[in-house]
Amino acid sequence: MSIRLGVVGAGIASRELHLPALMELKDLFTITAVNSRTRKKAEEFADLVGGKIKVFDSYEEILYSDDVDAIVLAVPIALNPEMIVAARTAEKPVICEKPIAASVKEGLSLLNLPGNSPVYIAENYRHIEVYTKASEFVREGRIGKPIIFSWLKWVDFGLDNKYVQTKWRQAPKHVGGFISDGGVHDIAALRKILGNVREVSGFSEKNLDYLGAENSVVFNMALGDGVIGNYSVVYGAPASLNRLEIVGTEGLLRVDKDEATIEIEAHGREKFYANNSDGFVEEFTDFYRVIKGQKNSLGSIREAILDLATVEAGLISANEKRVVIVDSLIVES
């Protein structure tokens, strides 16, 4: 029997990212209810989904509705923690968009939740094939022992971009605006491929006011075991790029996210073409399995906190001009 979902937040993520995936997963999930900031937006979403969908005026109503088995949270980042707590209190499984919270400090409160119902943080990059494969290639030793990496990301978000147009992104309550909003994705992938980041030191600049916060950063990262690297990002660039290059003792590996390709140069060249799935189908499928009792390894609160802590360490480093140890941010109260 399919799980009946109550969708909270009818913004870009619900409409354009989740809905297409859920349409493909009709055997697993049925959207039965929606709540959004305005009733109009919720009704429009209900129309988009089609079928019999209840429109609720409050989050509480949807949480305690008998028509809802599980919750999909796609709300402004700063609201995530309190809404996760509420879902847990209502004993409803919840899948929540990333980043987990507006800051690590707020995310940490989620390590000690009441109840037992599953909390799944929706980090689709942990499900994207190009990164899953890159992780496998590195672990198989295809480039020997990793030495140094470089992740270069240019994002061509102009004033008219739909995410830039989001009110809560224009005056972000979450650290670093787009840098954390987008950055947790990349760090999730980086950690999957090369392991956890131990220390970060960074510089940041704010060149474009319309992006709400820092829009360019360079973060050096030390991962332990001799691996260092750099994550450089600019939002509001005139062109787009998302390229991770890893140099190992035996070869190099280049991942192009936009092209979904992995090039390996080691004792010859090869190129792997990944599927260009954005990972949402895989993510919701994993959420389904977690609801059914499987261990939550890809959507755990701890993983999501580590992603955010790595980005926040860079932002703090840039502000305070010091090296920041990622673990130092994750001190449970």
Does residue 221 touch its own copies according to CB under 8 A?
yes
Assess 85 for contact with its own copies (CB under 8 A). Answer: no
| Helices of type H across 202-246 | none
Question: Binding to its own copies by residue 187, rule CB under 8 A?
Answer: no
| 199 near its own copies (CB under 8 A) | yes
Asked whether position 258 contacts its own copies by CB under 8 A, the answer is no
Q: Which of 60, 250, 258, 270 binds its own copies (CB under 8 A)?
A: 250
Residue 207: which residues within 8 A CB-CB, separation 6 or more? 215, 216, 236
Hey, which residues between 160 and 179 contact its own copies (CB under 8 A)? none
Q: Give the shortest CB-132-to-its own copies separation in angstroms.
A: 24
Check whether the bond before 114 is cis (ω within 30° of 0): no
CA angle 110, 114, 120 (to 5 degrees): 50
SS3 265: strand
Residue 54 backbone phi and psi in degrees, to 5: -85, 135
| Among residues 247, 281, 326, 330, the one that binds its own copies under rule CB under 8 A | 247
Position among 249, 276, 297, 328 found at the interface with its own copies (CB under 8 A): 249
Of 26-34, 48-56, 246-254, 288-296, the segment contacting its own copies by CB under 8 A is 246-254
Closest CA to 49 of 5, 105, 112: 5
Contact assessment for residue 229 and residue 221, using Cβ atoms and an 8 Å cutoff: yes
CA distance 313 to 305: 12
Sign of CA dihedral 252, 298, 103, 153: positive
218 forms part of the interface with its own copies (CB under 8 A): yes
195 binds its own copies (CB under 8 A): no
Q: Which of 89, 109, 117, 150 binds its own copies (CB under 8 A)?
A: 150
Q: Does 238 bind its own copies (CB under 8 A)?
A: yes
Of the pair 171, 239, the CB lying nearest its own copies is at 239
For its own copies, how many residues bind (rule: CB under 8 A)? 44
Find the binding residues for its own copies in span 34-73 (CB under 8 A): none
Q: Is 2 in the site for its own copies (CB under 8 A)?
A: no
Using DSSP, state whether 63 is helix, strand or coil. Answer: helix
Binding test (CB under 8 A) with its own copies, winner from 9, 202, 212, 279: 202
Residue 217 near its own copies by CB under 8 A = yes
Exposed / middle / buried, residue 258 (Cβ in 10 Å: 0-12, 13-18, 19+): exposed
**Rg of the chain in Å (alpha carbons):** 20
Alpha-carbon dihedral angle through residues 320, 303, 109, 102, given to the nearest 10 degrees: 50
* 148 forms part of the interface with its own copies (CB under 8 A): yes
Residues making contact with its own copies (CB under 8 A): 143-144, 147-148, 150, 152, 154, 199, 201-205, 207, 216-222, 226-230, 232, 234, 237-239, 245, 247-252, 265-266, 317, 321-323
